[in-house]
Amino acid sequence: MARSAGHRLQWDEVRPDRRSRLEAVLGSPVRLAVGQQGGYGPGLAARCELADGRRVFVKGVAADQNPHTPAMVRREVTVVADLPEGAPAPALLHVVDEGDWVALVFEEVPGVHPAVPWDEAELRSVLRATLAIGELEPASSLPTVAGHYGPVFRGWRTLAAEGPDAVAEDWSRRNLERLADLEAGWEEATAGSSLVHGDVRSDNVLLVPRDGQLPGAADVVFVDWTSTCVGAGWFDVVAMLPSVELEGGGSPEHVLRLAGLRLDDRQLAPLVAALAGYFAERGRLPDPPGLPTLRSFQQAQGAVALAWLRRLLRWP
């Protein structure tokens, strides 16, 4: 499955007054702006070359594109400011917040997204770097993973409250109450004190070549720190696996072996149930404003997560 291009705002589509204010903050006009592919948000995401020769990355979104996205961008400002030293994240240089328009300017990372389909050497590098995030000491201001994802990782319980007719798939409908009970244990299973990025996918990863060489020999930088929280150090790896399989990286079982993770089913099954339930419940909803590809991606991830869950549980 190819990485989504979404429906992103381009630099020349940004209102002229907003472009002018950004250029004033930058201290130089933008000579060239290249919109970036990937992701599902509607906002601007552009690598910009300035007239004075500097290069930056600019992201921005307006409330009329999606009413919830500006708050996510503001949260990233807080998170990035509190990231521990050595965190694999680009430096935040400037913030422009006008209420209904929020834009962030980061240093440009001279990297590329992982190949799709995944290259195994690149995947190993990303898995190592993802687990290394969990070795960093998180800021005390961050919520727990349960606090951040608790309101939405209750898909089976939401569907169970609506009744079996809310679920179209036969196995899930038969086991709906059991799935809701299993899902309820995900918060305890993922508790911990590790830094969690919260949204690791290929489009939130940049590989920076060492000595001009890819794949494998690369530094890994993570972007979009909007869902960062504190929990089990393996949370990010498990949560990314449905998207990895969709992009040709192999089954979750295979990728867990690549990562060297050996998790007890009592830890793993509640989170996989929560992921599958989240995608099952959200995937049936209409597309949010400005995000026309989100639900189809959630449905595709849900199919992978559900198949994985069925292999784990072996329920009839």
* pLDDT at res. 218: 60
- pLDDT recorded at residue 209: 85
State the alpha helices, DSSP H only, in 163-293.
170-174, 176-183, 186-189, 235-246, 252-259, 265-282
Structure tokens at 172: 């899930």
Instruction: Give φ, ψ of 124 to 5 degrees.
Output: -60, -40
All structural domains of the chain: 11-107 (3.30.200.20), 120-313 (3.90.1200.10)
Nearest Cα to Cα of residue 192 among 265, 131, 258, 242:
131
95 bridge partner residues: 104
SS3 164: helix
- DSSP letter for each residue of 245-261: HHTTS--HHHHHHHHT-
Tokens of 88: 């694999």
Asked if 180 and 160 count as a contact pair (C-beta separation under 8 A), the reply is: yes
Using only C-alpha atoms, the chain has a radius of gyration, in whole angstroms, of: 20
In tens digits, the chain (316 residues) has pLDDT values of 344 445 789 999 999 999 999 999 999 999 999 999 777 788 999 999 999 999 999 999 999 998 989 999 999 999 999 999 999 999 999 999 999 999 999 999 999 999 999 999 999 999 999 999 999 999 889 999 999 999 999 999 999 999 999 999 999 999 999 999 999 999 999 999 999 999 999 999 999 987 666 555 469 999 999 999 999 999 999 999 999 999 999 999 999 999 999 999 889 999 999 999 999 999 999 998 888 889 999 999 999 999 999 999 999 9
- Reading phi first (left if > 0) and then psi (alpha if -120 to 50, else beta), residue 87 is in beta
Strand-pairing partners, residue 213, are 210
Structural tokens at position 74? 């503001």
Tokens of 261: 């993770």
Reported pTM:
0.94
The whole-angstrom separation of Cα 116 and Cα 55 is 26
| Residue among 36, 4, 58, 38 nearest 204 (CA) | 38
Going by C-alpha positions, the residue among 241, 274, 272, 275 that lies closest to residue 257 is: 241
